[in-house]
Amino acid sequence: MRCARPVGSGVFPLDEELELLPGGLSARVSEGLARLSAQQPFRQAVADLAFFWGIEVSEATARRHAQAAGTAFVALQGAELERLEGGQASMTRPGQPMAVQQTSADGAMISLVGGIWTEVKTLVVGAVEAVEATDGTSEARAVELSYFSRLADAATFTRQATVELARRGTEQAGVVVGIMDGAPWLQSFLDHHRPDAVRVLDFPHAVEHLATTAQATFGPGSPEARAWLEAQTHALKHAGPDPVLAALRQLPLEQARDPTLAGATRDATLGYLHTRTTQLDYPRFRAAGYPIGSGAVESANKVVVEARLKGGGMHWAERHVNPMLALRTIACNQRWDEAWPAICSHLRTQHHQRRLARHRVRHPLPVPTPLAVPQPQPSPVVSPPRPKTIVNGRPTSTHPWKRLRFLSRRPPPANF
């Protein structure tokens, strides 16, 4: 009985035609599972998949699909960054250049495995427009917001954010308003991407420093502290930093419960604001139609990062954070239909490369036989010409016959 030889693993031709992803799920289910996992915890994503589609998978499967999709998008953005840094054109062209663009960045804390807290940095970009406020007045506000989040140090985040800023046309924008808090790395961020950006210290952040000084001087929650803070907030917004700095210097520190603490707090606030006076010119910013608050990035921290990665009992492995942040930004930027085909193509390419590598391990190519190197042949030995043995029909002295003993001449006998 003859048995057929076993066949190796392969891909059914129809799978390639339908562009299925690796794994046991269909392309539509894989996309739905990744999209649900980007919006809510894995346990809830699995429950919703079973409820709406009648398909039951494990939490581990949901986590694996989400991490693979997010990792693929991180890799795609990394390749885009290399193209941009290499001087090549971006794969996504920005839309109509914005007249005024707001750029803000900030950080939010999440918990890693082992109870370690770390900061995730988030960038928000939007077009500045005049919108109607609740009181009927017009105020400047950023609209059409988009986000970029990464767990990275300041220098790495500054480089990686180039992808989103290029997509939003930050380089082509007429005016870029950088509304940031007082962290030094945020000014370096603007120096890298738009050195000519209008630098604005976040107005609530400046008021928070004034509130700390008021409480240290007049007492927490006291009517005097509230009145002083209200007056300085109004002055800062409508008159600029000079009257506020003067009011800080004139605080009655001797009346504080702890004059030493009140003096140290006042000096810290005074030094902090004095070194940023150009970023405190709120009357000029408002007259030019620029926003003065970074509420957009504060909201981004909650919407992009904390809503998915900062839940009860959530502790993330560090290598899983950026893939989930990538999926979150796709969903929050309303770019799922644009990004998912590229993610699928990347996942299929990776799967094909892994299968090809496994095949080469199991079936290595034969080692070619080295070609024989021809050995040098010795030069032929040229023998000297032999003398002639016959001349004029008679044998010479070198003829072989002459060497025969019976032909050799001997003297005749004596009695001959």
The set of residues, in sequence order, having a beta carbon less than 8 Å from that of 229 and lying 6+ positions away, is 207, 210, 211, 214
Residue with tokens 């950080």: 107
Please tell me whether residues 284 and 297 are part of one structural domain.
no
Residue 88: what pLDDT? 83
- 311-314, Cβ contacts within 8 angstroms, sequence gap of 24 or more: 311/41, 314/41, 314/110, 314/111
Please tell me whether residues 274 and 146 are part of one structural domain.
no
Q: Cα–Cα distance between 119 and 108 in angstroms, integer?
A: 5
Question: Looking at the domain assignment, is residue 257 inside a domain?
Answer: yes
Reading the block at residue 27, the tokens are 């392309």
pLDDT in tens, 244-256: 999 999 999 999 9
- 268-276, Cβ contacts within 8 angstroms, sequence gap of 24 or more: 269/209, 269/210, 269/212, 269/213, 270/245, 272/182, 272/209, 273/206, 273/209, 273/241, 273/244, 273/245, 273/248, 274/245, 276/182, 276/201
Please tell me whether residues 225 and 261 are part of one structural domain.
yes
Residue 409: what pLDDT? 55
Handedness of CA 17, 19, 24, 27 (dihedral sign): negative
Pairing of strands 390-391, 198-201: unpaired
Q: Cα–Cα distance between 343 and 122 in angstroms, integer?
A: 22
Residues 224 and 218: beta-carbon distance below 8 Å: yes
* Positions of the chain with pLDDT under 50: 11, 416
Residue 13: what pLDDT? 54
Residue 97: what pLDDT? 87
Residue 348: what pLDDT? 86
Please tell me whether residues 223 and 337 are part of one structural domain.
no
Question: Looking at the domain assignment, is residue 401 inside a domain?
Answer: no
Question: Looking at the domain assignment, is residue 240 inside a domain?
Answer: yes
Residue 139: what pLDDT? 85
Please tell me whether residues 59 and 103 are part of one structural domain.
no
Q: How many domains does the chain have?
A: 3
Question: Looking at the domain assignment, is residue 396 inside a domain?
Answer: no
Question: Looking at the domain assignment, is residue 411 inside a domain?
Answer: no
Please tell me whether residues 241 and 130 are part of one structural domain.
no
Residues 229 and 212: beta-carbon distance below 8 Å: no
Residues 193 and 164: beta-carbon distance below 8 Å: no
Please tell me whether residues 62 and 79 are part of one structural domain.
yes
Residue with tokens 């150009």: 278
Question: Looking at the domain assignment, is residue 42 inside a domain?
Answer: yes
Which residues span the domain enclosing 263?
A: 203-292
Residue 416: what pLDDT? 46
Question: Looking at the domain assignment, is residue 211 inside a domain?
Answer: yes
Please tell me whether residues 114 and 197 are part of one structural domain.
yes
DSSP annotation of 239 reads T
pTM of the prediction? 0.81
DSSP annotation of 20 reads P
Residue with tokens 């032929």: 380
Question: Looking at the domain assignment, is residue 377 inside a domain?
Answer: no
Residues 401 and 407: beta-carbon distance below 8 Å: yes
Q: Cα–Cα distance between 125 and 146 in angstroms, integer?
A: 5
Please tell me whether residues 102 and 195 are part of one structural domain.
yes
Please tell me whether residues 195 and 105 are part of one structural domain.
yes
Q: Cα–Cα distance between 187 and 202 in angstroms, integer?
A: 13
Please tell me whether residues 196 and 302 are part of one structural domain.
yes
Please tell me whether residues 86 and 194 are part of one structural domain.
no
